[in-house]
A and B are shown apart, each in its own frame.
Chain A
């Protein structure tokens, strides 16, 4: 589905400003002070707590196949993850996943 322009024009400035304030927080305003340990611990896991959950439904139930689990997309996801863990290379993982996707789609 296409993005609704009204949503976009609200999200754009708010996300831009919010992200900037996150970056500015300690460097610009709060200065050199230690973060509480509990907060530091939680922040460490933000990215890894959101991104896998964001893609999981798209891997199992892709919108492009009307929600039907698709062998090509499932295989591509597994290969991407495996290569990424094994090689620690983001680009290597993307390439391996892409090759797998097209290989299974077109064979």
Chain B
């Protein structure tokens, strides 16, 4: 097999496996958002402007629960805060590109393009800037169009799905499925457990504020557990 020279094509290949996650996820978003009462235009604008699946689901669920705007925004933006880490990790590799290019790459900085690019840039840090930029755009090429097309398909199909199919539960199942592989260390498990217990105990609090408090507690619990474990293993970082 001849190795592929074009960094753009290598980027496409590197993120191609993510397609099997992105398509059903986007389809489901289209269906769920339509069931929640959004019309086709609203659903598509949502996917275009936010372009971050988990926070889109979170926002739809909270808006359906009639949570106030500020709570909806705080919670959904908190879901996306992990992308600060992505932005930090990409800056040393792509930061020398012109601002316009970086502004465009920022829009496409999603879980999949970050994951594929991070692996590539760590493996071959010395490649020219132009190659890194081309690779990055390669990684979003299979992902972004399919995200929008599948959202559209889901929104169109969603109107036709009867209530008997218990679609209300598609979102909890999807979120649990996204979370489960994240439970890869003790601090992650502790954070998830605190999140669940606190959210249930605080569910009586009005307007979804209980969830925000639960999230802060869970984040502190995760970080605290990490510090404690590090200390026990005798390194300070």
CB of B80 within 8 Å of the partner chain: yes
CB of B31 within 8 Å of the partner chain: no
Interface residues of A in 22-48 (CB under 8 A from B): 22-28, 30-35, 37-38, 40-48
> B172 — which chain A residues lie within 8 A by C-beta?
55, 58-59, 73, 77
- Structural contact, A19 and B84, CB atoms closer than 8 A: no
- Structural contact, A2 and B188, CB atoms closer than 8 A: no
- Structural contact, B177 and A25, CB atoms closer than 8 A: no
Complex Cα distance, B87 from A49, in Å, reads 20
Size category of the binding interface on chain A: 35 or more
- Structural contact, A47 and B63, CB atoms closer than 8 A: no
CB of A71 within 8 Å of the partner chain: no
Complex Cα distance, B183 from A85, in Å, reads 7
Q: With A12-B46, A90-B181 as given contacts, are A105 and B166 in contact (CB-CB < 8 Å)? A: yes
CB of B160 within 8 Å of the partner chain: no
Closest to B182 in A: A48
CB of B131 within 8 Å of the partner chain: no
- Structural contact, A50 and B215, CB atoms closer than 8 A: yes
Report the count of interface residues on B (CB-CB < 8 A): 93
Contact of B20 among A25, A54, A91, A93 (CB under 8 A): A91
List chain B positions with a Cβ less than 8 A from chain A.
20-21, 24, 36-38, 42, 45-46, 49-52, 54-55, 58-61, 63-66, 69, 72-73, 75-88, 90-92, 94-95, 99, 102-103, 105-107, 109, 166, 168-183, 187-188, 191-196, 198-200, 203, 211, 214-216, 218-220, 222-223, 226-227, 237
> A7 — which chain B residues lie within 8 A by C-beta?
63, 69, 72
- Structural contact, B237 and A37, CB atoms closer than 8 A: yes
> B194 — which chain A residues lie within 8 A by C-beta?
49
- Structural contact, A11 and B72, CB atoms closer than 8 A: yes
- Structural contact, A62 and B180, CB atoms closer than 8 A: no
A-B contact pairs, 9 of them (CB 8 A): A3-B38, A19-B50, A27-B87, A28-B103, A44-B222, A77-B176, A80-B180, A93-B180, A98-B170
Per-residue 0/1 for A65-98: is the Cβ within 8 Å of any B Cβ (1 yes, 0 no)? 0000000110011001111110011110110011
- Structural contact, A57 and B84, CB atoms closer than 8 A: no
- Structural contact, B103 and A25, CB atoms closer than 8 A: no
Closest to B74 in A: A18
- The distance from the CB of A80 to the nearest CB of chain B, in whole angstroms, is 4
- Structural contact, A27 and B94, CB atoms closer than 8 A: yes
- The distance from the CB of A82 to the nearest CB of chain B, in whole angstroms, is 8
Q: With A8-B63, A27-B91 as given contacts, are A51 and B83 in contact (CB-CB < 8 Å)? A: no
Q: With A49-B218, A51-B175, A56-B200 as given contacts, are A83 and B180 in contact (CB-CB < 8 Å)? A: yes
